[in-house]
Structure 1
Amino acid sequence: MLIRGRAGLAVNKPTEPVPTGWVWVPVNSVARQETGHTPSRSRPEWWGGDIPWIGIRDARLHHGGVIYDTLQTTNPLGLANSSARLLPKGTVCLSRTASVGYVTVMGRDMATSQDFVTWTCSEALVPEFLVKALIAEGEGLRKFGKGTTHTTIYFPEIRALHICLPPLAEQKRIVAKLDTLSAKSARARNELARIETLVSRYKQAVLRSAFLGQMTSEWRTRNAALQTASDLIDCTPTPPQPRGGRDATDRVIQGKAALAVNTPPRQAPPKWQWVPLSRIARQETGHTPSRSHPEWWDGDIPWIGIKDAGAHHGRIIEETIQTTNEEGLANSAARLLPAGTVCLSRTASVGYVTIMGKPMATSQDFVTWTCTEALVPKFLMYALMAEGDDIREFGKGTTHTTIYFPEVRAMQICLAPLEEQHEIARRIEAAFAKIDRLAKEAKRALELVGRLDEAILAKAFRGELVPQDENDEPAEKLLERIRSERQATPKAGRGRGKV
């Protein structure tokens, strides 16, 4: 049965035309094909020697490259008491079971497990060319195997595996060209991948700039008639706070931007004012209705848990994974909070921030602030986000940090004038949208680089990547010459392990 690969490999010989000087040949006619074995694990004296032994993890770590060192080693006793064999440097290894498709080249003499098929190339086949041919198939290599959940390429297919073989000189030109192009695409991938990792840093820099008063400093100068934060606070009634609980701490913790525990030494930007959050927002927490009462759950009241906050970090939340009902609220300390309430996860996963898009309840893992007219909810949300992971400094504990209520009750915010709060939120969202667009473009470009690599490999095995040279000895003539030379040489006995 013919199974045509994506590029230069097939099970059995295709009938399609080939480039000038190329020829379809069985891989085992130009390379000695073998497999490996695993010395018994019950015999520790067969392990830990000086003979590298390639397993699947090694192949994964060195996919597409040369392998010099392995995670496990065997010794002459291990080889003598198993079907494993020491194979020469330059042998090509393909994982054919468990994780199909990892390809590597031995950088020195090694043995392998039975999860591999190996080819020790003759002078007609450049090992690196075989490696590129195998990599060019990609996931398509699984077509040569059987099984869905766990694919294995069995030896009847391996013995029938063919390669479209160019002249030897052209093989070397193809390998050199692919190596050059691969190095360039690797650099491109690295640079594009850096953008994705830098996105959170860019956003954090935007937030810090905003809440240190730098983002809107010129805007503030142009709007000299702004009502100051101090005047805004003076004309805002203090919201009622829940009674009970522990008193506020008296220790001072300066945040990285516009938050602190108690009044910090950092001076506020012009027209801004440090103020206790409890002066301009009602601070509460939540609760979890008893799980032993299923009738208190699955109602029409959204109930925010840690997973919800993680999924909606930095955004307005409209729907939650779990819901409660009036009975659940009546029988717990949970309370229905109004739309616009800002939620901060204070335990388990500290630092998730979201804003309620409609009335909701929360678990006890949150502290919530229902803002007065002096505080824009998005301004508070972004101020909390501006602290980033450093918000943990307001809490206690190393493995599992929790921000306790003495610190929450003493929390202060550096409040901007009301118009400036709106302007800061608008500018942050515009900057985030731009950063997200760039990240999306980088991700798209990264995908295109991957497709370009595939296209280049396909082109290489169509004979279109490098110029052909009419002076190259055609592959068929090379093979005829090698066969003649072999016929003139006495045959050596078959070595153990050949398949």
Structure 2
Amino acid sequence: MSDFNLPEGWSVCTLADIGNIQTGNTPPKKQPDFYGDSFPIFKPGDLDAGSRVLHASEYLSEAGRAVSRFIPAGSTYVTCIGATIGKTGFVVVDGTCNQQINTITPEFGLSQKWIFYWICSPNMQTAIISNSSSTTLPILNKSKFSSLETIIPPLAEQQQIAQKLDELLAQVDTLKTRLDAIPNILKRFRQSVLAAAVSGRLTEEWRGENRLANWLETTLSECSDRIGDGLHGTPSYSKDGDFYFINGNNLSNGKIVIKDSTKKVNFEEYNKHKKDLNLNTLLVSINGTIGNLALYQGEPVILGKSACYINFKPLMNRNFAFILLSSFNFFEYAVREATGATIQNVPLKAIRNYRFCLPSLEEQTEIVRRVEQLFAYADQIEQRVKDAQARVNHLAQSILAKAFRGELTADWRAQNPELISGENSAAALLERIKAEREAVGKTKRKVKAGVAVKQ
């Protein structure tokens, strides 16, 4: 950072030059009287609130406060250990923190928010990671944290930078919040499409135009040749086997998912436990996680007891059945019929007895086409949202980078040269801080000396 092209009036120093650095500590858990009142002790997970951290996951009593390090409101907390190293929060209340966090409290009137934003910037986040110990568990101790190189603008410009970042990043947060809400909107949209599909509303006009028969009430049992589940037990596994033993947790979004942990069996074991699966088979999870679905496509598998298979008759389009069992109506029914307190299980009898209305094969095909079309549209929107979210996340970092290159305040500097030069420059500010610290230090030494003389 030393080769950084500093704007006029800016200087370079260390974090220790501009604030009081503290590392937190945790009062002994063996003394419960230290905990449970109103003094917050912040942990890395509490810093997710970012620019306004107000609440902690744990609180101390007055006794606990007395043995902890007091950190005043307006301090910046930085996680300095582990996978979340660099996570930063601006804490707006008095509190303390555990030993995973280093804090910096700005002194002598420096902008509190400017320091927070500076530590969030790409330059400082990179410095935090690159200066941490290179072990499997990265650690940046207090000494290294204190010595991190820091740029510092004049005081008036610090305030301008913080104000502009407050405004710009608030707009970014608003945009991010709106984007983050869209996946839930799309989830509700998909469920509404499914509800319309299985109720007949989706194709009501089309059905009338084509003069098709009304839907008939039926059950899954009446529409299938066989409904069963898999092995109630454990097969003999074989590391070199060519067949997989799957359960309900291997069913996801219409597909059989083979995981690294999925066990294998040999041909003999497969032949012993195989079920009569075919290209009209739909698989449903009925134990533990309820309602996962997969269309069987000839995969080399045997089933466990949490995977139910349904072999449909020609009168029912398997893809329509997938839509039917993906609907909230079926899920609500399955949960209602499930037994077991800890691990829920949907009896095969309940699967067989599920009642619904069945349209003609022609209308089933049209329903499948419309649902796939609408879902593809939703998928496109979802991908665009993900792309936009990535751009928004990059935008925040880009704004911070511009701020600390002096680009956001270039016009302000040109209009206010007297506020960035001479006694208002960052260099002069650092000298004043140094002088004030020395004065405070002398005062403390005199007080200690006076106490010693009296004794």
With the length of structure 2 as denominator, give the TM-score of the two structures: 0.83
1:492 is paired with a residue whose SS is: helix
The alpha-carbon deviation at position 129 of structure 1 amounts to: 0.7
The alpha-carbon deviation at position 212 of structure 1 amounts to: 0.9
Matches within 5 A, 1:190-339: 190-224=177-211, 226=212, 228=213, 271-288=214-231, 291=234, 293-294=236-237, 299-300=241-242, 304-309=246-251, 311=252, 313-315=253-255, 317=256, 321-322=262-263, 324=265, 327-328=268-269, 331-332=272-273, 334-339=274-279
Instruction: Choose the corresponding residue for 1:351, options 288, 291, 300.
Output: 291
Larger radius of gyration: 1
Alpha-carbon RMSD: 3.2
- Residue 418 of structure 1 corresponds to 361
Matches within 5 A, 1:58-457: 59-67=46-54, 71-75=58-62, 79=66, 84-98=68-82, 99-123=84-108, 125-137=110-122, 139-140=125-126, 141-224=128-211, 226=212, 228=213, 271-288=214-231, 291=234, 293-294=236-237, 299-300=241-242, 304-309=246-251, 311=252, 313-315=253-255, 317=256, 321-322=262-263, 324=265, 327-328=268-269, 331-332=272-273, 334-358=274-298, 361-386=302-327, 387=329, 389-393=331-335, 395-397=337-339, 399=341, 400-457=343-400
Q: Distance in 2 between matches of 1:289 and 1:485?
A: 77
Q: Is the 8 A contact 2:22 2:103 kept in 1?
A: yes
Question: Which segment is superposed worse, 60-69 or 365-374?
Answer: 60-69
Output the amino acid matched with 2:203.
T
Q: Distance in 1 between matches of 2:333 and 2:294?
A: 15
Output the amino acid matched with 1:123.
F
Deviations 1:170-208 (A, max 9, x none): 111111111111211111111111112233221111111
Output the amino acid matched with 1:308.
N
Indicate the structure with greater helix content. Answer: 2
With the length of structure 1 as denominator, give the TM-score of the two structures: 0.76
Instruction: Choose the corresponding residue for 1:470, options 399, 408, 417.
Output: 417
Deviations 1:409-437 (A, max 9, x none): 33334121111111111111111111111
Following TM superposition, the consecutive aligned residue runs of length 4 or more in structure 1 with deviations greater than 6 angstroms are 485-490
The alpha-carbon deviation at position 304 of structure 1 amounts to: 4.1
Q: Is the 8 A contact 1:46 1:74 kept in 2?
A: yes
Consecutive unaligned residues of structure 1, counting only runs of 5 or more, are 5-13, 229-270
Deviations 1:287-324 (A, max 9, x none): 328636346x9655565421221x3x335x49785555
Q: Distance in 1 between matches of 2:280 and 2:296?
A: 5
Q: Is the 8 A contact 1:124 1:478 kept in 2?
A: no
Deviations 1:137-168 (A, max 9, x none): 47522212213322121244234223211111
Distance 1:154 1:414, change over 3 A: same
**Aligned residue pairs, count:** 431
Question: Which segment is superposed worse, 279-288 or 18-27?
Answer: 279-288
Distance 1:429 1:70, change over 3 A: closer
